[in-house]
Structure 1
Amino acid sequence: MGFDLRARLDERRARHRYRHPRVQDGPCGRVARVDGRDYLNFCSNDYLGLAADAEVVAAFRAAADQWGVGSGASHLVCGHQRPHQDLEEALAAHTGRSRALLFSTGYMANLGVITALVGRGDAIFEDRLNHASLLDAGLLSGARFRRFAHNDAGALAGQLARSDAGRKLVAVDGVFSMDGDQAPLAPLLDACEAADAWLMVDDAHGLGVLDGQGRGTAFAQGVNERLPVYMGTLGKGLGTSGAFVAGSEELIETLIQFSRSYIYTTAMPAAVAAATRVSLAKAAAETWRRDRLAALIRRFRHGAAELGYALMASDTPIQPIRVGEDADALALSRALAERGLLVTAIRPPTVPEGQARLRVTLSAAHEEGDVDRLLDALETAKCRN
């Protein structure tokens, strides 16, 4: 029978779900340059505007001069250099944990943690709207895989009570990447503690953004001391690349011994680790970035609601405009692009059927006038329809 790849591609095109990368001809920031044209960028995850920050770039450049541009090996062979160690210690302190462990990507961190902690005879429970990396990790672990209704601690408690698994792990996003809402960590932890289960939080979109020092959802919700497993990424709020897991001494040692995506992967360049230490310090100290971000979020939500757009319950930089049909979301994205605004249309399977949307993301690099320009374009697009 063979592989009929063309038919699959044609079907995706016909359903308005074909994707392709845009070639960026400039650094990540407030403005994106694509095909010779500048666009105001409202789809980057650079929430604090640190990706091209001059001090972060200078730290990267200086570390590259000293340490080179590659680590040369996995952490456990000879790739673990002093900047990696220094960053792990800084991340542990920032998140209030005994230790932290670096991974090359958030996807690999989630795969590494879940497959190291649970397997056959165990059970993994996940929110239905979890990121694909958490879902894939749960399926690959070999543990019994269960999904519970979005942010429904009662549904989770029922599933946990019915499970006779040897070990039970619950995994959720701290901030859900396509909706922008937060997981209710306190009731989820209540359910876990009652069933002798562990909770793991993927805080890719909360780290740097939430809490007065940017320590993420667990601190913002006052439950950090109760949370056994914390994962954060470095390529969003912190503006660099990579990920980490933070927790107890025993957790980190377990991951070093059993996490295949840590053991068998080349360590990130030391220059990235050195630059991230600077961006982490800036994220914690420069509170004006979060203050500006919060003001921009309020400005956008007020203006979009006045225009009659369907927003979602989010107080984070992720501000989805729910559209519905795939073709309509693409049309709105194109209308904004015509006016020099880059906002990506998100369609299934990334989001559920019938819930295509524009995922507006705001950054401390934006200005009030940028948000006003986006609102003006949204008003024009609405009048056109």
Structure 2
Amino acid sequence: MFRRTRYQQGTIDRVKRKQGPDCWIFRWRETDASGKRVRRKVVLGTIEKYPTESSALKAAESLRVTINEEQPRFPQQPVSVAALITHFKLHELGPIQEDDEGRAFSTRTVYSDFLRLYVEPKWGDSGLREVRAVAVEKWLRTLPLARGTKSKVRNIMSVLFNHAIRHEFLPQNSNPITMVRQSAKRIGVPDILDVAELVALFEELSHRERVMVLLDALTGLRRGELMALKWQDANFEELELSVTRSIYRKVVGRCKTLASEKPVPLDPWIAEELLTWKRGCPYNQPEDWIFASTRMKGKQPYSPDSILKRCIRPAATRAKIAKTIGWHTFRRTFSTLLKANGEDVKVVQELLRHASTKITLDVYAQAVTPDKRRAQTKVADMLRAGVGARKKSLLDPSGPSTISQEAVSD
């Protein structure tokens, strides 16, 4: 019959080395496959890294949690938030395996950053039962962050404490973050561009950036999906774009959701612009990135932040657009223009590849590809007409001219 052993604290010893500084050793016992109790040990670090025994004990806390995973934890054994974060990162935010269906790389990175920047500095030394909803709520109010960012901090803390409950560091239904109130409502309305502003922006962009912005504004791709496109993803015969990957901080991974991997229709105008770019760019083989960086010799796509800062925002300034423009601006603009055209909400959802709108729509409605293509083409026609009218006015000597002929022919 299986018998649980008592909760182990383990021991910390300072050990002299023949070479180099002394180190701290953490020792404990565990049951091997034959049922025999054996001694185990692990090197925590040198005295240079942990100069005092208390600092070494703190470093060992996350290990202590791990070696006692088969033992009941609550209510007698306190666990610190710092130890919980270490345990959470080890089990939930580790390297992504090929068959991993968990969080995407971008999500794991954001979780790690938020825990490191906000949660651990404030709550790391606190025991799990010392964290109270009202205290967390007051602390969130002091953070110099946008409401949406504060809400994300709150949500990540809630996931962290749910992890503690799942691994029995806390009893069921004892997540204090569930009672924390934090609004995610925007203080201001995010900027979107109208058709005239998009057309003016196109005129100020070079061919490369114009193709990027046009493709983004007429497909609503997320920036990581846009930069991760390869020429093999563009089906010019079927006028479809396969979105199968995303890139974040130079790491290529899967898309945000399964819905994100659905094919995206390509309006003939977008397809023509893409083909023109393909004929002129140095990297145009099926395995090449559509927007391959020449500085990286085609091995990496361009950095979306760099393109935005160095090319798109200066072009917006030249076009006298005073709005704050980011990559998500084009996705929001696409959504707004679709809604302005009176498109069905399900069609909009599938064009933007959201996971869902409402359960009712997901269960009872399915947008077909012709409907999505027609909706996209309406927006493309609006922009194409605007570009044509703009060029006509620029070529008319009697009309106002705000851009050089070289820019028109570019």
Q: Give the TM-score range, shorter chain.
A: under 0.3
Kindly indicate which of the two structures has a greater share of residues assigned to strand: 1
Structure with max Cα Rg: 2
TM-score (normalizing by structure 1): 0.23
User: Which one has a larger percent helix, Structure 1 or Structure 2?
Assistant: 2
Q: TM-score, with normalisation over the residues of structure 2?
A: 0.22
Structure showing greater relative contact order (alpha-carbon pairs closer than 8 Å, 6 or more residues apart): 1
